[in-house]
Structure 1
Amino acid sequence: MRVRPTDATPPRPWHTLSAERIQEALECDLAGLDQAQVQQRRERYGENRLAPPRRRSALRRLLLQFHNILLYVMMAAALVTAVLGYWVDTSVLFAAVLINAVIGFIQEGKAESALEAIRGMLSPVATVVRDGKRQQIDASELVPGDLVLLASGDRVPADLRLLTVKELRVEEAALTGESLPVEKAPEVVSLDAPLGDRYGMAYSGTLVVYGQASGVVVGTGADTELGKINRMLGSIGQVTTPLLRQIDRFGRMLAFAILAIGAVTFLLGTFWRGETPAHMFMMVVALVASAIPEGLPAIMTITLALGVQRMAHRHAIIRRLPAVETLGSVTVICSDKTGTLTRNEMTVQRVVCAGQVFDVGGVGYAPEGDISADGQIVDIARHPALALAIRAGVLCNDARMRLDDDGQWQVEGDPTEGALLVLGSKAGHDQDACSAEWPRLDSIPFESQHRFMASSHHDEQGEPWIFVKGAPERLLDMCSQQFGRDGEQPLDADYWRRMATDTAAQGLRLLALACKRAAPAGATLSFDDTSAGFTLLALVGIIDPPRDEAIAAVSDCHQAGIRVKMITGDHADTARAIGAHLAIGVGKPAVTGAELALMDDAALRRVVMEVDVFARANPEHKLRLVQALQENGQVVAMTGDGVNDAPALKRSDVGVAMGLKGTEAAKEAADMVLADDNFATIASAVREGRAVYDNLKKFILFMLPTNGGEALVVIAALLVGLGLPLTPVQVLWINMVTSSTLGLALAFEPAEGGIMQRHPRAPGTALLSGFFVWRVVMVSCLMMIGAFGLYYWELANGTGSESARTMAVNAVVVSEMFYLINSRHIFAPVLNREGFTGNPYVLLAIAACIPLQLAFTYAPPMQNIFGSAGLSGQEWLKVLGAGVLVFVAAELEKWVIRRSGLAARLAGS
C-alpha cells in the first residue's frame, strides 16, 4: 500500500472559508476534477488511507517480554535449581517464565489492533463528480479538490467542506462526543469554533443519518481528523501499571537484600566458623533459591485471573490482566457523559404551558412515568393545552418506537422526536392510535434554515389542523396566540422567553409546539401556510438523563476518595446540569475545549485538579487532560466509546470502553470493556481491584517471613557455632511446600469490609512500607526463634542431628500454617469464626500441606533424600508450640496496632 508523501497539505481553517475561497484555494469547480488533475494530486498527496504504523517484529516483541526484573529473578532461580540437580523445579520455573512471556506477547498484539480498528472506519466507496460526470469510486482514490456527493446512510469518505446542504444531519458522536446528530449548513463559522460546532464541515468516518449534500475534499488519509487521532494513538506508548512498577522496585530491593544476606552467610560460615567453602557455597545457593519469590508470578497470575472472573460476572471484561489491580489504585476517573453517566436516551422532563409547568417522571425510552404539577399527578383530560401539545408532538413526528427481542424499547429516527413519542405513550397518546384518529395529509420536513417541522391533519370530525414543532424563538415569530387555561389568548412573549431561559438553565434542550386550525391554502402544505397565525401550545424540556445507578456509583467513588471528572463533547450548559445531578463539579465552572486550548501545560496541570466538568472537548483536549492528571501524580481511569476517545483511553492507566455502544477503535485501545455501558460497573471493578491488591500484598507478607526465617536460622547457627540446622535440600523443600500449597490460598481471599471507605493508596507507594518491613522482620525472627530454639534444645539434650533438623524444618512449616491464618487479615483479628473459616481454601491448603510434611518426616524415600527422621508425639507438641508462638505474637501485634489507632493510617501506606 502506498504511504502518503511527507509534503501533505498544510492544515488550513477550512471551516472559515466560503465556497468560492475553497474552490479557489483547491483549484476546483462544480464540474469536478479532470483525470489529469486527479493523477497529479494522487502522486502528490498519496492515497486516501491511514498508513499503518511501523511495528516491531514478532520475535523482537517476544524477546522484550523477558525484559522484566521478576522474570530475571525466576530465571536465576531456575538456573540455581538446575545447578543443584532439581530438574522438576527447574522445568516448572522455566515453564512459568515462558507462560508469562507468551501471555504478555498475545496481549500486546491485541493492543496494537486498535490502529487497525480506526483504519477500518474509513468509507470503502465514495460518490464523486469528475469531468462533469457523477461516478462511484473506491474511497482510497479521493484527492483534495474532489467534489463528493453525500446521501442518507453514507459514511463520509474524507474531510469535506460542504458547498450545498439539503436537510443534512450527521452522526458525529464517535468523533466529537455530541449525543445528537448535528445539523449541517454551508455557512462559515469562526476560527476558534470547536470541532462539533463546525457546521460547514463533514468529517471522515462520520455517518450521514438524514438529507443530502455536496462538498469539496479538503483532507485525505493522515490529513483528516480521523488521521490526527490515528497519529496520536500511534505515538502513545504502553503505560506500565502501578503494580508492575511496584513489583519492579520490590524485585530490585529483594535481589539486593538476597545477595547481601547470601554474602554475609558465606563469609560467616567460611571465615568465622571454618565451614568448607564448597559446603557454604551450596548453603548460600539454597538460601538464595529459597529467598527468590518464584511463587510470586504464579500468585499474581492466579489472583488477577480470579479478579477477571469476578469482574466478568459484574459485566466488566478485562482485556489486559494487570488492569485488574490498577483499578484498585485509581485516584481519578475521567468519564464520558453520553451513554456512560447518562442513558443515551433523550427524555422529556418538563412541559411548560401558558400559566402552568408540568414535570414528567420516568427516564429513557420505556413509556413509564407520571405527569405532575406541584407534586400532584394530573389528569391530562383536565388540561386541554397540555393534551393538545402532547398530541402535536406525536403527530408532527417522523420517528418510530418499537420493542426489541430483549424487551427493551428502542427509537428509530431522531432521538428528540423519540422523546416526544415516549411522552405521548405516558399520556395515553399512542402513536398508531393518534395517527389513525388524526391522519397526516402532508408535511414539511425539518430543515436547518427554517428550524421547524410542520404537518397537516384532520381530526375525527374532519376539521383541519396544522401542527409545527421547532426552535422556540422561531415559533414565537409564527405565533400570535397562546393556549391558556381559558382557551386561546394573546401571546405573552416575555413569559415564554423567561420560561425558555429558566428551562435551558437546567440543562434541558428546548423544543416548542404550536398549532393552527386551518387547512393548507393549496393542494399541499407549503411554507406560506406556516408564516403566521399559530397558537403556541407548550415548551418542552428534553435531556439525556443520568443513570440512577451512576448517581449512586459516583457517590461511592467519592466515599472511596476517588475524584470523578466528566469530559464530554457536549455543550457546557448541558454538561454542567448533568454534573450537578451526579454531584460532579457542583459549584464549580465548566471549562470548554476552546479554553483548554489557550492554556499552557503548567496552567492545565493546575486547572485539571480544580475543575471537574470539561465540555466541548476534542481528542487532543482529552489526551492533554489525562496527561496533566498523570503529571500531577494521579492514577487515571478514562472511559469512552468513540474513536475520539481512543488516544486518551490508551494513554490512561486504565482505559474503559463501552461494550454496547462503543466503537471497535475504543474497545481495542482500552484495558477493560463494560458489557453494560454502565458507570456503576466501574465502581464495582474498583472494589475488585482493591481486593486483588490486598491479596497480593497478603501473599508477599506471608511469603517473605519464610525466606527471612530460614536465613536467620542459618545465620544464628553460624553465630553460635553449631552445625547448620537446615541442609540445602531441606531449605528447598520448605520453600516448595509453603509457596506451592499454603501461599496460593490467599489468592482466594474475599474483599475485606470497608474496602471502599478507604482512600486510594498514594501513587508511588512502595509495595512494602516501613511498617510491613517491620512485620516481615518480626515474623521472621519469631520463626527463627521457634526453629533454631528447637534445634538448639534438641542438640543440647543429646538428640541426633537428623531428628533435630527434622524438628526445625517442621517448626518452620507449621509456623507458616499458623501464620497463613494470621495473614488473612493484615490488621483485623482472626480469632473468630470468620477468621478461621471465611476462606475455605486456607483450610484446604493446610490440609494438603499436612500429609506432605508427614511424608517428609516418615516416608523412607523422603528420609533418604532429605535426611529427615521420624518424630515422637512429644516432639510434635514442641513443633506445634513453635507455630502457636508465631500465631499468638502476630495477633498480639495486630491488637496493639488497633488499640493505638494506627491501623487506618498504616492501611493506606
Structure 2
Amino acid sequence: MTENQIIGSRQEYWHSLAHEDVLRALRTEPGGLADSEVRVRMAQYGPNRLTPPKCRSPLQRLLMQFHNILLYVMLGAAAITAFLHHWVDTGVLLAAVVINAIIGFIQEGKAEAALDAIRAMLSPHATVIRAGSRREIDATDLVPGDLVFLVSGDRVPADLRLVSVKDLRVEEAALTGESMPVEKSIDTVSADAPLGDRYDMAYSGTLVVYGQATGVVVATGAATELGKINEMLTGIQSLTTPLLRQIDRFGRVLALAILGMSAATFVLGTMWRDHEPAEMFMMVVALAASAIPEGLPAIMTVTLALGVQRMARRRAIIRHLPAVEALGSVTVICSDKTGTLTRNEMTVQRVVCGGHVFDVGGVGYAPVGDFSIDGRIIDTEHYPALAMAIRAGVLCNDARLRQEDNSWHVEGDPTEGALLVLGGKTRFWQHAGETAWPRLDSIPFESQHRFMATHHRDSDGDSWFFVKGAPERILDMCSFQLSRDGEHPVDVDTWRRMATDTAAQGLRLLALACKRATPEGERLSLSDLEDGYTLLALVGIIDLPRKEAIRAVAECHHAGIRVKMITGDHAETARAIGAQLAIGVGKPAITGAEVALMDDAALRRVAMEVDVFARASPEHKLRLVQALQAHGQVVAMTGDGVNDAPALKCADVGVAMGMKGTEAAKEAADMVLADDNFATIASAVREGRAVYDNLKKFILFMLPTNGGEALVVIAAILFELALPLTPAQVLWINMVTSSTLGLALAFEPAEHGIMNRRPRPPGEALLSGFFVWRVLMVSVLMMTGALGLFLWELEIGTSIETARTMAVNAVVVAEMFYLVNSRYILASVVNLEGLTGNRYILLAIAACIPLQLAYTHTPMMQSIFDSTDLSLLEWAKVLGAGLLVFCVAELEKFVIRQTRLASRLAPHEQ
C-alpha cells in the first residue's frame, strides 16, 4: 500500500493494519520525520485545524429576520395606522417588529457557537519526535506520519494509530458515547469494528486519563473523526419548529384572506352600493386594521417566554424560544443512556460464588441493600465464600468511597467504587479491611495482562495475593474454586456458563481470586501471579436506570410518545437497560455496524420498528434522526458528547446534558438539562403542550374578536346601514382589548389530562375545521350582539353616537366574557376553577373595565371617539350582548363534548 493510497484518503482501515505496516506506508522512521519532509506534507495537507464555516455577515443575518409573513402583515398594519395618524399604534407595531427581529438575530448568532465549541476541543500542543529528537510543538503543525507521545492528562492532538502502549486508558465518551475509559493496545482489530471498539486508535479531542503511549498521526484537521463531525454539523440546516411552520402557513392564508376581503368590500361598496371611493377606502382600511392579528407575534413571544420560566424551574434551560412549543409536539424522543436514563453510578447487582447466585439490592453509591437468593433475603455471615469475595474486592482496590452532606461519592474508577459499596453493604469497610489486612505491594491494572493484583498480610501474619480482572484472564490463573465446603478443583465450564448468563443480562463482569502465598523476591512480580489461584466470585456490575426515568418513560408512552435509546454502549448492556425501562421490550437491539449496512429506505423502516440502538457513531445517530423525520415524526434528541452535536442540531428539539455535556453539545442544542435527567424531558414536554394549548387559545380568542368587528363593518356596507363602528373606534377596540385581554391566556396553567393525549399530528394545520367553525360562530355572535343592539337603539330613536357607543361596548364586553370561555377549548368554565382559576384573566378584565368607562364617560375620550354617556339600562343591554356570547359558546362546548362521548361509546354499545 503506497503513501498516496493511504495518506489523506480518509479511508477507514488504519485500525485493521499492523502498526509496522502503517509506519511503512507513511514512511515514518524511528527518529520521526525530517524537517524537510514535514514542510512538504504541511504544504500538501495543510495545518491541523478545523476550517471555520462561511458565515453570513451580521447585517445579512439581521435583514433576514424581517423575511417573515407575520412581520410583513405587522408592517402593513403599521403603515395603515400611520396613514390614519394613529401614531401610538404605529409605534407599538414597529417596536414589536424590531424586537422580534432582534431576538431572532441573537438566537441565530448563538447557534453558530456550536462549531466554535468543537474547534476548541483540539489540543493546543503536542509532543513529537522529529529528526531524531523529542520536541513540543503547536498541534496545528502536526502532519500525517508524525510520531506523537501521549501521557496521562493529554488531549489527543490528531487521529493516531498507536505503536506502543503502556497501561493506556482514554476517555472517549465525548466522541463515542462509551461511559467508561477505554483500555488501549497496539493489537489490530477487524476492519468493520465500530469507532468505540478500535482499541489500537486514539482520536483527536479525546482525553488520556491513565498511562502512556506513542502513536503515528494518520489524519489531521478535517480528515479526523472530530473533523468529520464538524463537517456534518456545518452541513446541517436547522429545522424550524412545527409551530413556526404552522404560523407561517397561517400568516400567509390570513394575509391573503384579509387582502381578498378588503378588496371585495371596496368593490362591492363602490360599484354596487355607490359609496364614494374615498369613503370606502377609509372603511377598508378600518376593516383591514380590525382583521390583522397584530398581537400574535407579541403573544407568541410572551407565551414562549413564560414557558421558558416554567421549564427553568423544572431544571430545563431553553436556549431557543420556539423549542418550548416544539417539545409539546414531539412524537419520538431519542435518548442517550448513561446518566440520562441511568444514574451514572456503577452498582453490583449480582455475585456468583460458593455455588450460589446472590442478588444484591440497593442502587448507586449508598452502601444500603440486602443480599438475596431466589428472592429470599439472607444473612451474609453464613456464607464465608461471599465474605472472602467481598474482602478481595475491597482490598484489591484503589478507589475511595466518601460521604459528604448525606451523599455518597466515589473517587477513582467507578467499577472499583461499586466493589467498595458492595463491601459497605456487609459492613466490611475499606479502612477497617486495610487496617486488619495491610497492603504490602501491588501491581496496577494494565491492558496487556488485564488484571490488578495486591499483596496483603492478615492478622495472623500470613501472606495473601488478591487479584481482580477480566473473567477469562482470571480463570486462566485459577486452579481451585472456593465452595461452601472448602476448596475444590475449578469447574471452568460452569464458570464460563455463569459468565455468559450474567453478561446476557447486560452486566459488566469482574472476576475475583486469591492465593495464600509469599512473593519470590522482595516485591510482588508477574511471576508470582501466573497460576495456583482460588477463584472466589464473578461480580456483575451495571449502571442502573433512574427510578424517575422509568416513570417518565411510562408517562411518555402513555402520552403517545415513543422513546428510543441510542447509546455507545454494547448491545447486551443497552438491551438489558432498555428492558428495565420498558424500551424495546421483545424487540432486537440494532448496532451501529448494522445501521451502516442499511440504505436509507431500510433504515427508515427499522427506525420506526426498533427502539434500542447500540454502538452508534455520530453518522448513525444523524441518519436515525433523519430517518424518523422522513416518516413525519417530530424528534427530540438527547446527547452530551461532541459526537451528538450533528444529531442535536438536526433534531426538531436538541436536548444537551448540562452536567456532563460538552460545550459543543450544549451550543448545538435547543435545550439543556441542568440535572441530566430524562424525567426533566417529560416535564418539559408537558410544559410544551401547555404552551401550544395557550397559543391555540389566544388564536381562538383573537380571530373571533377581530372577525366580529369585521363582520359588523361588512354587514353595514352590504345592507347600506349606518356604520356601527368608525375607523377610530375599531382601532380603539384593537388597541385596548384584543391583544391586552388575550395576553392573560399566556398565563394559563396546563389543563388536567394534558399528558393523556396523543401527540398532535406533525402536519396538522393551525386552522382546522373545528377552528374555522369556532371562529365563524363566535364572530357571528359578536356581530349579532353589537349590530343588533346598534340597530335596535336606532329603531327606538337613540342617537347614532349613543348607538355606536353601545356597539363598541357590546364588542368589548363580549370579548371579556369570551375571554373566560377561552380558558378551556372544550371543557366547561362554569365552575369555580373555570371562572377564577387564572387570576391574570380577572386582572385583565379589571384593567379593561375602567378603560371602557373612561372611553364612555370622560369628555376627552368623547371628543376623540364621538362616544357618549350611557344609562344603567343601556349598560344592562350591553351586558346582555356579552352574556349571549358566553352562554352560546358554553352550549356549543357541551354539545361537542356529548357528541364525542357518544362516538367513543358507540362501538362498545354495538
Shorter-chain TM-score category? over 0.9
Tell me the TM-score normalized by structure 2: 0.97
Q: CA deviation at 1:150?
A: 0.8
Corresponding residue of 2:4: none
Letter in 2 for 1:578: I
Q: Spell out the pairing of 1:134-173 with structure 2 (5 A cutoff).
A: 134-173=134-173
Q: CA deviation at 1:449?
A: 2.2
Query: What is the distance in 1 between the residues matched to 2:509 and 2:309?
Result: 45
Corresponding residue of 1:585: 584
Give ranges in structure 2 of 5+ residues lacking alignment: 1-6, 905-910
Q: Spell out the pairing of 1:478-557 with structure 2 (5 A cutoff).
A: 478-557=477-556
Corresponding residue of 1:3: none
Corresponding residue of 2:54: 54
Query: What is the distance in 2 between the residues matched to 1:689 and 1:79?
Result: 35
Specify whether residues 798 and 883 from structure 1 end up closer, same or farther in structure 2 by C-alpha distance, changes over 3 A only.
same
Residues 839-860 of structure 1: per-residue CA shift (max 9 Å, x gap): 0111111111111111111111
Q: CA deviation at 1:891?
A: 0.4
Pairing 1:395–2:395 present = yes
Contact conserved, 2:401 with 2:409, CA < 8 A, in 1? Answer: yes
Contact conserved, 1:510 with 1:539, CA < 8 A, in 2? Answer: yes
SS at match of 1:545: strand
Letter in 1 for 2:145: G
Q: CA deviation at 1:902?
A: 6.1
Corresponding residue of 1:643: 642
Pairing 1:759–2:774 present = no
Contact conserved, 2:354 with 2:386, CA < 8 A, in 1? Answer: no
SS at match of 1:199: coil
Contact conserved, 1:897 with 1:903, CA < 8 A, in 2? Answer: no
Corresponding residue of 1:117: 117
Pairing 1:376–2:376 present = yes
Contact conserved, 2:571 with 2:615, CA < 8 A, in 1? Answer: yes
Query: What is the distance in 2 between the residues matched to 1:376 and 1:10?
Result: 57
Letter in 1 for 2:352: V
Pairing 1:234–2:234 present = yes
Query: What is the distance in 1 between the residues matched to 2:162 and 2:659?
Result: 32
Corresponding residue of 1:451: 450
Pairing 1:176–2:190 present = no
Tell me the TM-score normalized by structure 1: 0.97
Residues 489-532 of structure 1: per-residue CA shift (max 9 Å, x gap): 22222221221121111110111101111111221112221111
Q: Spell out the pairing of 1:565-576 with structure 2 (5 A cutoff).
A: 565-576=564-575
Q: CA deviation at 1:251?
A: 0.3
Query: What is the distance in 2 between the residues matched to 1:583 and 1:572?
Result: 16
Q: CA deviation at 1:861?
A: 1.0
Q: CA deviation at 1:11?
A: 2.6
Q: Say what the alpha-carbon RMSD is for the aligned residues.
A: 1.3
Contact conserved, 1:161 with 1:215, CA < 8 A, in 2? Answer: yes
Q: CA deviation at 1:436?
A: 1.7
Q: CA deviation at 1:366?
A: 2.3
Pairing 1:212–2:207 present = no
Contact conserved, 1:127 with 1:150, CA < 8 A, in 2? Answer: yes
Specify whether residues 778 and 624 from structure 1 end up closer, same or farther in structure 2 by C-alpha distance, changes over 3 A only.
same
Letter in 1 for 2:175: L
Query: What is the distance in 1 between the residues matched to 2:503 and 2:818?
Result: 63
Corresponding residue of 1:789: 788
Single out whichever of 838-847 and 267-276 deviates more from structure 2: 267-276
Corresponding residue of 2:661: 662
Corresponding residue of 1:202: 202
Query: What is the distance in 2 between the residues matched to 1:235 and 1:125?
Result: 28
SS at match of 2:487: strand
Letter in 2 for 1:344: N
SS at match of 1:149: strand
Corresponding residue of 1:889: 888
Corresponding residue of 2:3: none
Corresponding residue of 2:853: 854
Query: What is the distance in 1 between the residues matched to 2:368 and 2:661?
Result: 27
SS at match of 1:386: helix
SS at match of 1:348: strand
SS at match of 1:126: strand
Q: Spell out the pairing of 1:51-90 with structure 2 (5 A cutoff).
A: 51-90=51-90
SS at match of 1:340: coil
Query: What is the distance in 2 between the residues matched to 1:193 and 1:10?
Result: 16
Query: What is the distance in 1 between the residues matched to 2:534 and 2:232?
Result: 53
Specify whether residues 31 and 403 from structure 1 end up closer, same or farther in structure 2 by C-alpha distance, changes over 3 A only.
farther
Query: What is the distance in 2 between the residues matched to 1:85 and 1:532?
Result: 98
Residues 47-73 of structure 1: per-residue CA shift (max 9 Å, x gap): 111111111100000111111111111
Residues 17-63 of structure 1: per-residue CA shift (max 9 Å, x gap): 11121112111122111111111111111111111111110000011
Single out whichever of 451-460 and 888-897 deviates more from structure 2: 451-460
Corresponding residue of 1:560: 559
Query: What is the distance in 1 between the residues matched to 2:797 and 2:810?
Result: 19
Residues 722-754 of structure 1: per-residue CA shift (max 9 Å, x gap): 111110001111111223421111000000000
Residues 426-460 of structure 1: per-residue CA shift (max 9 Å, x gap): 22122222112111111122122212111110011
Contact conserved, 2:705 with 2:738, CA < 8 A, in 1? Answer: no
Corresponding residue of 2:696: 697
Letter in 2 for 1:431: Q
Query: What is the distance in 2 between the residues matched to 1:536 and 1:186?
Result: 30
Letter in 2 for 1:92: V
Specify whether residues 835 and 10 from structure 1 end up closer, same or farther in structure 2 by C-alpha distance, changes over 3 A only.
closer
Specify whether residues 891 and 64 from structure 1 end up closer, same or farther in structure 2 by C-alpha distance, changes over 3 A only.
same
Q: CA deviation at 1:768?
A: 1.7
Corresponding residue of 2:683: 684
Residues 121-167 of structure 1: per-residue CA shift (max 9 Å, x gap): 11111111111111111111111100001111111111000001111
Single out whichever of 406-415 and 329-338 deviates more from structure 2: 406-415
Residues 197-228 of structure 1: per-residue CA shift (max 9 Å, x gap): 11110000101111111110001111110000
Query: What is the distance in 2 between the residues matched to 1:366 and 1:58?
Result: 52
SS at match of 2:444: strand
Letter in 2 for 1:521: E
Query: What is the distance in 1 between the residues matched to 2:572 and 2:201?
Result: 24
Corresponding residue of 1:259: 259
Query: What is the distance in 1 between the residues matched to 2:669 and 2:407?
Result: 27
Query: What is the distance in 2 between the residues matched to 1:32 and 1:233?
Result: 34
Corresponding residue of 2:908: none
Query: What is the distance in 2 between the residues matched to 1:371 and 1:209?
Result: 34
Q: CA deviation at 1:9?
A: 4.0
Pairing 1:33–2:33 present = yes
Letter in 1 for 2:216: V
Contact conserved, 1:50 with 1:222, CA < 8 A, in 2? Answer: yes
Corresponding residue of 1:4: none
Q: How many residues align?
A: 898
Query: What is the distance in 2 between the residues matched to 1:358 and 1:29?
Result: 55
SS at match of 1:337: coil
Contact conserved, 1:787 with 1:808, CA < 8 A, in 2? Answer: yes
Specify whether residues 240 and 902 from structure 1 end up closer, same or farther in structure 2 by C-alpha distance, changes over 3 A only.
farther
Q: CA deviation at 1:79?
A: 0.9
Specify whether residues 902 and 699 from structure 1 end up closer, same or farther in structure 2 by C-alpha distance, changes over 3 A only.
farther
Query: What is the distance in 2 between the residues matched to 1:690 and 1:55?
Result: 34
Q: Spell out the pairing of 1:898-909 with structure 2 (5 A cutoff).
A: 898-901=897-900
Give identity over the alignment, percent. Answer: 76
Letter in 2 for 1:505: A
Contact conserved, 2:10 with 2:219, CA < 8 A, in 1? Answer: no
Query: What is the distance in 2 between the residues matched to 1:804 and 1:579?
Result: 69
Contact conserved, 1:827 with 1:903, CA < 8 A, in 2? Answer: no
Corresponding residue of 1:816: 815
Query: What is the distance in 2 between the residues matched to 1:407 and 1:621?
Result: 41
SS at match of 2:247: helix
Q: Spell out the pairing of 1:677-756 with structure 2 (5 A cutoff).
A: 677-756=676-755
Letter in 1 for 2:77: A
Query: What is the distance in 2 between the residues matched to 1:360 and 1:38?
Result: 58
SS at match of 2:269: helix
Contact conserved, 1:18 with 1:188, CA < 8 A, in 2? Answer: yes
Letter in 1 for 2:896: I
Query: What is the distance in 2 between the residues matched to 1:426 and 1:152?
Result: 33
Corresponding residue of 1:107: 107
SS at match of 1:536: strand
Give ranges in structure 1 of 5+ residues lacking alignment: 1-6
Single out whichever of 159-168 and 41-50 deviates more from structure 2: 41-50
Corresponding residue of 2:601: 602
Specify whether residues 592 and 549 from structure 1 end up closer, same or farther in structure 2 by C-alpha distance, changes over 3 A only.
same
Letter in 1 for 2:362: G
Query: What is the distance in 1 between the residues matched to 2:180 and 2:227?
Result: 23
